[in-house]
Amino acid sequence: MQIDLSELTAANDTRKECTVPIDAAVFSFQKEEYPVEEGFVVLRMHHTSDRQVEIEADVRIVLGMVCSRCAAPLSEPFDLTVSCLLDLNKKAGEKPKDTEEENEEDDAFVNCVMNDRFLDVDTLAFETLSENMPFAVYCKEDCKGLCPVCGKNLNEGDCGCSATADEPKDPRMARIADLFKNVKEV
């Protein structure tokens, strides 16, 4: 969804607060796609002066993901807060005139403004989420994962096979297993 900033920037010291739904159905991150199950952004905007807008946003997104240990589907909530100063005079990709005064974090959100007038809320939310994505998510803290021999989800119960089986089920690993059989521990 896009928010028109022109009425906000018509006069100095103008404030606006609104709750905006996230329209995108999918979040793409590092060649993976995650369905957006729920999402909204609470925006607090303040036009300070000369087309500069301070933005505080509370981002709530629930993504459909899979557990990194057992591959079970799960809904992962993200509650994030972002603050930035948007300079609507600056174009996307434009270099700052005085690098000492510029904040690099705010520069990332220049891409959220389109046609010097519209704030793309989905882009703002996804830029914030991209900076805070975890490396792995788990269905529960003590997830047992999958059996390395048969692949059964160990959270559902014991599989009955020995996890320390001497014979690997993957034939590509047979040569490596043979190497370790011949090595005696010192």
The per-residue pLDDT for range 142-179, each reduced to its tens digit, is 999 988 888 889 899 888 776 555 555 667 767 777 77
Question: Are 16 and 45 within 8 A, CB to CB?
Answer: yes
pLDDT beneath 70: ranges in the chain:
90-116, 162-170, 173, 182-186
Task: Let me know if 174 is exposed, middle or buried by CB neighbors in 10 A (0-12, 13-18, 19+).
Answer: exposed
Q: Closest Cα to residue 61, out of 39, 89, 90?
A: 39
Instruction: Give pLDDT, residue 37.
Output: 95
Beta carbons within 8 Å of 137's beta carbon, 6+ residues apart: 65, 66, 67, 68, 74, 76
Tokens of 170: 């993957």
Distance CA(170)–CA(146), nearest Å, equals 15
Question: Are 45 and 15 within 8 A, CB to CB?
Answer: yes
Instruction: Give pLDDT, residue 99.
Output: 41
pTM of structure: 0.70
Q: Where are the domains of the chain?
A: 2-131, 146-186
Question: Are 36 and 126 within 8 A, CB to CB?
Answer: no
